[in-house]
Chains A and B, each alone.
Chain A
Amino acid sequence: MKSLLLIMVGAVFVNNFVLARFLGLCPFLGVSKKVETALGMGMAVTFVMVVASACTWLLQYLVLTPFNLDYLQTIAFILVIATLVQMVEMIVRKSSPVLYQSLGIFLPLITTNCAVLGLAVLNIQRNYSFVQSLVFAFGAALGFTLAMVLYAGLRERLTLCPVPRIFRGTPIELITAGLLALAFMGFAGLVPN
C-alpha cells in the first residue's frame, strides 16, 4: 500500500511528467489558453493513460515477453495506443455527443502523445505489477492535469498583464512554463525516483 502511495506522489509532484520529465509538452503549450480547455484535456489524458497502460502492460507480459519480442515494444505500443484512442473517440462520439463536445476534440491530439508512450515504456522499465502500473498511470495523468491547469491559470492571468513588448506572446509564456518547472523542482528528492 505504501509503495502505491509513493508511486502516486512521485508521479504527481516529484517526477511530474510535464515539468520534470518534459514529456507531453505539445499539449501543455498548445491547449493551455484557458483553464476549461486545459481541464478537458487533462481529463481526456487521464482516461487514455489509464486504459493505455493497462493494455500495454497486458501486451508486454502476455505477448512480447513470452515470445522474446521485447525489441518490438515501441512500435507495438504505438500501434495499440493509436488504435485505442481512435476507438474511444468513435465510441464517445456515438454514445455521448455531450462528452464528445467537451472531450472528443482533444482525443486526436493524444493519439501519438509522447507522454502516453513514455508512461507505457516506464511501466515496463520499472517492472511494475499490473496494479502498480495502473496507479502510476493515474498519478502521472493527475500530475499532467495539475501542470496543465496551473499553467492555464497563469496564462489567463498573463493576458491581463502589461508585458514588455519584446516578451509578449510566446516568449513570456515559455518563461512562465520554465518558472513553473523550477517551482516543481522544489519537490525533488521527496520520493526516491
Chain B
Amino acid sequence: MIQPSFPGGTHPPGHKTATADARSEICPLPAELVIPLAQHVGAPALPCVTAGQWVARGQLVGRANGFVSVPVHASTSGLVTAVEPRPHPCGADLPAVVLQPDGADTWADEYQKQSFHVLSVEAMLERIREAGVVGMGGAAFPTHVKLDPPQGKVIDTVIVNAVECEPWLTADRRVLLEQTEKVLTGLEILQEISGADHAYIGLEDNQPDVARLLAPHCQKRGIGLAVLPTKYPQGAERQLIYAVTGRRVPARGLPMDVGVLVQNVGTIAALTDAVTRGRPLIERMVTISGPAVVRPQNLRVRIGTPVAHLLEHCGVTEEPAMVILGGPMMGSAQHTPAVPVVRGTSGVLAFRRQDLPTTTAGPCVRCGRCVNACPMNLQPTFIADFARRDELELAERFAARNCIECGSCSFICPANIPLVQSIRYAKGAILARRRRI
C-alpha cells in the first residue's frame, strides 16, 4: 500500500547513528535537582513543600492548579533546600523546587503492580492525572485533558507517534526498543479509555529494525503498523494523522475533531507506569548528542537534572557554543547550562562554535522553496514580510495562525531569513490584538 504523504516537508540530515543503537543508561543523580513547577501547558503547579523538608521519591511537591494542570513530584528522595525562581528552559527564571538528593532514593510508597483491566476509565484517568503525565514529544500538554474529550467527540483511532522526525534525537526509538511491552500495554490502555477500535503505530522508514521488531506484536494484537517515508515534520500531529489515516484535521480544529488521538511513545510508556504501578512521571529518556559531546548516548534522566550535569556525564570536547533542549528544528537554545531537564525535554544537543551558521540573513530571492516546504500550505515568505511591516490583517488573511512553527521554511531558506520567527511573532501579535479588541 502506498501511504499518502502530507504536503511540503523537508529532509534535514538525520545525525541519528551516534545514539540510535546503544542501549540507554541510567543517569547518575546530580548533586542538586531543580524541579520546575511549570513543566506543562496550563497553570503552573502550586508548591506544597517548604525548604528544609525531607521528601521521598515520587512524593508530591506541587499540586495541580486547575483542570489544565498537573502535579509535580520529587524525582528522588532528599532534602528540599529552596523553593525559588530558577532558570527554566523557556528562558525566564520560574519557581522551582530545589532538591538535594540523599542518595537513598527511597520510594514514597511501595506500589503493587496491577493489571489495568480491573480499573474503571475514571480511575485510570485519575491515576494519569495524579502521575503528572504530559505529552513528552515536546509540547507537554497534560495527557488527562487530551484523553477526556468534551461530550459528543468520538475517538475511533489511536496513533502512537514513534516518528521522531527531529534530527539527532533517538529517545523515542530507544523507548520503543527497550520498553516494547510497556508501550503496547499503554496502547491497550489508551484504546480502553478512548474507546477507539483502531490503533496504529506511526514509524518512519529509516527505522526498519524497529518495524521488524514490532511487526509480529502488531500482527498479534491487530495494530496497524504505518511505516512512513522519512520526512520532516512527520511527527507533527496533523501531518502524522494525514499520513496514517488520510484524514485532514481542520485548520483551527483538534485531532479529536476527526476522531483521532495521537500520543508520543514516551508518553505512552509513562502512562502505563502511571496506570499499572501508580508511578508518577519522574524520569524520562533523553538523547544527549551533538558534535560537542564525547560520548553521545540516550540516558534515563530524572526530571530536574541540570543540563550541565548531563554534559559533564557524557563529556564535552570544549565549552559548547550552543546548547539546545529538544530537537534542532523546534527546540530552544539555552542561555545557561543550569536549566534542568523537564518533562518535555526530549534531547540535549551541544554544538561547537564551528557548527553554528555564520551567514546572516539576506534579502528574499523569491525562490519559493519555503512555500514548497510548508506542511500547512502557507506562504511563509509573505507572512514574514507582513509581520515585519506589522500588517497583521494581511498576515491573518494569509492564515498565519495555521502555522505549526515546524521551522521547515527557515531550514530551507537559502537566504537564511528568520521566517519562522517572524511568523511566530505575527501569530502572537494577532492573538494579542484579538484579546485587546
Instruction: Tell me the A residues contacting B by CB distance below 8 Å.
Output: 159-162
- Report the separation of the CA atoms of residues A162 and B363 in the bound assembly, to the nearest whole angstrom: 7
Residues of A close to B433: CB separation below 8 A = none
Which residue on B lies nearest to A159, using beta carbons? B389
Binary flags per residue of B80-100, CB closer than 8 Å to A gives 1, else 0: 000000000000000000000
Which residue of chain A lies nearest to B388 when distances are taken between CB atoms in the complex? A160
B32 within 8 A of A: no
Cβ contact within 8 Å between A160 and B385: yes
User: A12 to nearest B CB, angstroms?
Assistant: 29
CB within 8 Å of A: which residues of B? Answer: 363, 382, 385, 389
Contacts of B389 in A (CB 8 A): 159-160
In whole angstroms, how far apart are the Cα atoms of A128 and B385 in the complex? 49
User: Which of chain B's residues have a CB closer than 8 A to the CB of A159?
Assistant: 389
Least CB distance from B345 to A in Å reads 38
Specify which chain B residues have a CB less than 8 angstroms from the CB of A160 in the assembled complex: 382, 385, 389
How far is B389's CA from A114's CA once the two chains are assembled, in angstroms?
Answer: 36
A160 to B385, alpha carbons, bound, how many Å? Answer: 6
**Taking chain A's interface residues, is the majority helix, strand, or loop, or is none over half, making it mixed?**
loop
- List 6 interface pairs A-B (beta carbons < 8 Å), by A numbering: A159-B389, A160-B382, A160-B385, A160-B389, A161-B363, A162-B363
Kindly provide the distance from the CB of A173 to the nearest chain B CB, expressed in whole angstroms: 17
CA distance A159 to B388 in the complex (A): 11
A109 nearest CB across to chain B (Å): 25
Residues of A within 8 A of B382 (CB): 160
- Nearest CB of B to A174, in Å: 22
Closest 6 CB pairs of A and B: A160-B385, A162-B363, A159-B389, A160-B389, A160-B382, A161-B363
Q: Say how far A165's CB is from chain B's closest CB, in angstroms.
A: 14
Which residue of chain A is the closest to B362 with respect to CB atoms?
Answer: A162
What separation, in Å, do the CA atoms of A159 and B385 have in the docked complex?
Answer: 9
From A159, A160, A161, A162, residue with most partner B Cβ within 10 Å: A160
Closest chain B residue, CB of each to CB of A156: B394
- What's the Cα separation between A161 and B382 when bound, in Å? 11
Say how far A170's CB is from chain B's closest CB, in angstroms.
19
Complex Cα spacing A159 to B363, Å = 13
A48 to chain B, nearest CB (A): 30
How far is the CB of B393 from the nearest CB of chain A, in Å? 12
Give CA–CA (A160, B363) in the complex, Å: 10
- CA–CA, A104 to B389, complex, Å? 29
B residues less than 8 Å from A161 (CB atoms):
363
Determine the residue in chain B with the shortest Cβ distance to A160. B385
Tell me the bound Cα distance from A161 to B363 in angstroms: 8
Q: Report the separation of the CA atoms of residues A162 and B366 in the bound assembly, to the nearest whole angstrom.
A: 12
A residues near B385, Cβ cutoff 8 Å: 160
Closest residue to A162 on the B side, CB-wise?
B363
| Cα distance, A159 to B382, chains bound together (Å) | 11
Chain B residues in 8 Å Cβ range of A162: 363
Cβ of B394 to closest chain A Cβ, rounded Å:
9
Smallest Cβ distance from A167 to chain B, in angstroms?
A: 14
Smallest Cβ distance from B204 to chain A, in angstroms? 37
Instruction: Return A88 CB to nearest CB of chain B, in Å.
Output: 31
* B367 vs chain A, min Cβ distance (A): 15
Docked complex Cα distance between A161 and B389 (Å): 11
Q: Which residues of A are found within 8 Å of B363, using beta-carbon distances?
A: 161-162
Taking the closest CB of chain B, its distance from the CB of A162, in whole angstroms, is 4
Q: How far is the CB of B6 from chain A (nearest CB, A)?
A: 28
Nearest CB of B to A108, in Å? 27
- Bound together, the chains give a CA A160 to CA B388 distance in angstroms of 9
Residue of chain A at shortest CB distance from B363: A162
> In the complex, A99 Cα to B194 Cα: how many Å?
55
CB distance from B414 to the nearest CB of A (A): 15
Cα-based distance from A65 to B389 in the complex (angstroms) = 57
Min CB–CB distance A179 → chain B (angstroms): 17
Tell me the bound Cα distance from A161 to B366 in angstroms: 10
CA distance A159 to B389 in the complex (A): 9
Look across to chain A and name the residue whose beta carbon is closest to the beta carbon of B386: A160
Q: Which A residue sits closest to B384, measured CB to CB?
A: A160
Q: How far is the CB of A164 from chain B (nearest CB, A)?
A: 11
Min C-beta distance of B366 to chain A, whole Å = 10
By beta carbon, the residue of chain A nearest B389 is: A159
- Chain A min CB distance to B379 (Å): 12
Per the bound structure, the CA–CA distance linking A160 and B387 in Å amounts to 11
Name the distance in Å between A33's Cβ and chain B's nearest Cβ: 13
Assembly CA distance A80 to B245 (angstroms): 69
A105 to B389, CA, bound (A): 27
